[in-house]
Amino acid sequence: MKESVVDRFLRYVKIDTQSDEHSSTVPSTAKQLTLADMLAEELRELGLDDAEVDGNGYVMATLPANNGGKGPVIGWIAHMDTSPDFTAEKVKPQIHRHYDGGEIVLNAEQKIVLSPADFPELLAYVGQDLITTDGTTLLGADDKAGVAEIMTALAWLQEHPALRHGTLKIAFTPDEEIGRGADHFDVKKFGAAFAYTVDGGGLGELEYENFNAALATVTCTGRNVHPGTAKDKMINAMQVAMEYNALLPPAERPEHTEGYEGFYHLIDMQGEVEKTVLRYLVRDHDRQKFESRKKYLREAAALLRLKYGKTAVKVALKDQYYNMKEKIEPVRYVVDLAREAMEACGVEPKVKPIRGGTDGARLSYMGLPTPNLFTGGHNFHGRYEFIPIPSMEKAVEVITRITRIVADYADKKSR
């Protein structure tokens, strides 16, 4: 019996592959290798004989061209890890048949409900079968849905050898969720002319713009003195940190922004009187505005140093990735191919900027133009994650359609 995209997805999500940003190993967690080894074996069973897991946990494989198929080599990429934002231990996926538009009880005992009042996008999928968790873990559609969709598309192509296609390259990466997914990606070995990450959200999403991204670490240094004799002596690093945070515009936080609007996102704070450390994600689609945001963080620190002393506040900035649009625009045809394939499959393309990043952002700057396609999932990284089954099936169809369109174009040019 042929395995469906749903069958594969349900198998993959039950494997805990959370990455760990505090780890210095590659991959950051050994448990990611469990899925990597499984996928390499399944790829070999599908006839991709060179499938292997390298020393860094990357799975790579080749599906050779068939029937004299020509055209550029296309890469297909998804990541194996799930977010450390929410537990992924013992994921229990549930299928809800023929969603009726009401609330979905994820966990009756804990009274966890997925409601269209909170997530109105649910109403777009009335009548469809949805997959959720039991409300105690994330689901892992980001990005095991992408993995399952690529694997299912490969199986379909192998089952239909009469349909010509060119050479396809496959990669499944570790540690994308902690920003390291492209750190050890061997673009030269991969050997594709361009690629697609299958790592997007709802049906029809097509993305080739993403944030410019940096991590800011703000260290506030204080002076601890017994509170009974602290007048004009104590400098409370926690208070300095709060003063620093108050200098950042409240309207430019993630919860108040959308579309192309950038933000400062406080993700962690640890402190005491002597020392307090704040960590911020800095994001903007516009490169000039991105640089201005980083400059503002430094200026805010300089202002507080005038007040509290030259060692009171220090800012360390580390750029994480840049907007792939700069690298995709010169080869815009890779976006047009995806748009054509979606329309041929009855899917309305929804071209939008990514309010985040993908492996494709960094890979594009490494010489591999890589826009992003939808998986069908919603509410990633939390207990309310869900994915409609028809959206997953359409993703498989779009992947196979792109390969066929490229082969057809190449065949016409060669005549």
pLDDT in tens, 198-232: 999 999 999 999 999 999 999 999 999 999 999 99
Whether 218 and 197 share a structural domain:
no
Same domain, 58 and 100: yes
Domain count, the chain: 2
Tell me, yes or no, whether 289 and 356 share the same domain. no
Mean pLDDT of the 90-118 span: 97
Same domain for 302 and 387? no
Question: Residue 176 catalytic?
Answer: yes
The pLDDT, as a whole number, for residue 414 is 60
- Mean of the per-residue pLDDT values for the chain? 96
Catalytic residue of the set 16, 42, 81, 143 = 81
pLDDT higher than threshold 90 for residue 415: no
Q: How confident is the model at residue 69 (pLDDT cuts 50, 70, 90)?
A: confident
- Predicted confidence at residue 356, as pLDDT, reads 82
CATH at 72: 3.40.630.10
**pTM of the predicted protein model:** 0.89
* Residue 82 and residue 140 in contact, taking contact as beta carbons nearer than 8 Å: yes
* Structural domain range at position 168: 5-209+324-414
| Average pLDDT for 68-81 | 93
Q: Are residues 397 and 271 in the same domain?
A: no
Q: Are residues 21 and 160 in the same domain?
A: yes
**Tokens matching residue 198:** 């299958």
The residue with greater pLDDT, 289 or 164, is 289
| Catalytic-role residue among 42, 176, 177, 359 | 176
